[in-house]
Amino acid sequence: MSSLVKNIIRFILFILLQVFILNEVPPLHRFIVPYIYFLYILWLPFTINRIALMLIAFAFGLSLDFFSGTTGLHAAPCVLIAYIRPFLLNLILPQETIEQSYSEPGSKSMGWAPYSLYVGLLTFIHHFYLVLIEWLTFGDFLYFLGKVLGTTAVSLLMIFLAELLFLRKGKYRTNAA
C-alpha cells in the first residue's frame, strides 16, 4: 500500500476512534481524558515537507474540532507539535543513517529509547498547550496542572498499548519506492 493511501486511511480511523469511542468513554475523573488522536501526526513519514506537515496537522485538528463543537481547540496544539516535530527528530536521530533507510518514526526505526523520548515530549507539549487554552477560557490552576499530568499519563499508556498491539513493520525505504 502506498504511503499516501495508508495515511489517508489512518487519518479517518484516528478521527473516528477519538470521536466515537474515546470521547464516549464515561469520565473516570475530570483530570483523566483519553486522547490518542495526535499519534497520527507523530506517525507521519519523515520525508514530508515542514509546511505540508503543519497544514495536514491543522486540517486534522480542525476535523476533530468539528465533531466536538470546539473549533480551533485541537487544531492549535496539533499545529504546534507538527512545527516542533522536525526539530526534535533532528536532535534525537543520528544523522544520515536512520532517516534515509526508514519511512516513518517508530520503535523499530528509531529504537525504543529515542522513540519514547520523542513520543513523551510531544505528548506533553500537546497536552500542555491544549489544557493551557482551556484554562485561559475557564478554570483554576490546580485544574491546569492536574489535567496536564493526568491526560499525559493516560495518553502515554494508550500509545504504549497501541505500539504493542499494532506492530508496525519498520519499512525500509528502497530506491524503487
CA angle 125, 22, 10 (to 5 degrees): 75
122: which residues sit within 8 A by CB, 6+ positions away?
38, 42, 81, 84, 85, 88
Choice between 137 and 174, CB closer to other proteins = 137
Q: Is the dihedral of CA 127, 10, 113, 91 positive or negative?
A: negative
- Does residue 27 touch other proteins according to CB under 8 A? yes
Range in contact with other proteins (rule: CB under 8 A) among 2-10, 38-46, 49-57, 103-111: 49-57
The pattern of x and - marking residues 131 through 150 that bind other proteins according to CB under 8 A reads --xx--xxx---x-------
Least distance CB 76 / other proteins (angstroms): 4
Binding residue (CB under 8 A) for other proteins from 2, 4, 5, 24: 24
The pattern of x and - marking residues 64 through 103 that bind other proteins according to CB under 8 A reads -xxxxxxxxx-xx--xx--x--------------------
Confirm if 41 and 11 have CB atoms less than 8 A apart: no
* Helix or strand holding residue 46 (H, E): none
- Does residue 124 touch other proteins according to CB under 8 A? no
- Does residue 20 touch other proteins according to CB under 8 A? yes
Confirm if 59 and 74 have CB atoms less than 8 A apart: no
